[in-house]
Amino acid sequence: MPDPTHPHSKQSDYHAYLLRVWREEGHGWRVSLQPTGSPERFGFADLHTALAFVEQHLRNSSQEMRHEQ
């Protein structure tokens, strides 16, 4: 894993999120993801949707890296 504190590490090589999971009565489990170092938070109705969001974000990041090269 790249070292996010290393000065030559690219921002797109490392992603960290704060994961929150809680149960809402009548709705099951809810999930939120917050990229570390950002006030932005994303809410999801279930873990599957949250993981799909992360997968898409990583795909987009990989595509951006290819365009930069």
Residue 7 placed within a domain: no
Print pLDDT tens along the chain (69 aa).
Answer: 455 554 444 566 889 999 999 999 998 999 999 999 999 999 999 999 999 999 999 998 877 666 665
Q: What is the DSSP string of 3-65?
A: -TTSTT--GGG---EEEEEEEETTTEEEEEEEETT-S--EEESSHHHHHHHHHHHHHHHHHHH
User: What is the number of domains present in the chain?
Assistant: 1
Residue 2 placed within a domain: no
* pTM score, whole prediction: 0.70
Residue ranges making up the domain that contains 61: 16-68
Residue 23 placed within a domain: yes
Residue 10 placed within a domain: no
Residue 31 placed within a domain: yes
Residues in the chain: 69
Residue 32 placed within a domain: yes
Residue 58 placed within a domain: yes
Residue 3 placed within a domain: no
Structure confidence at residue 51 (pLDDT):
97
- Give the contacts of 13 (CB within 8 A, at least 6 positions apart): 2
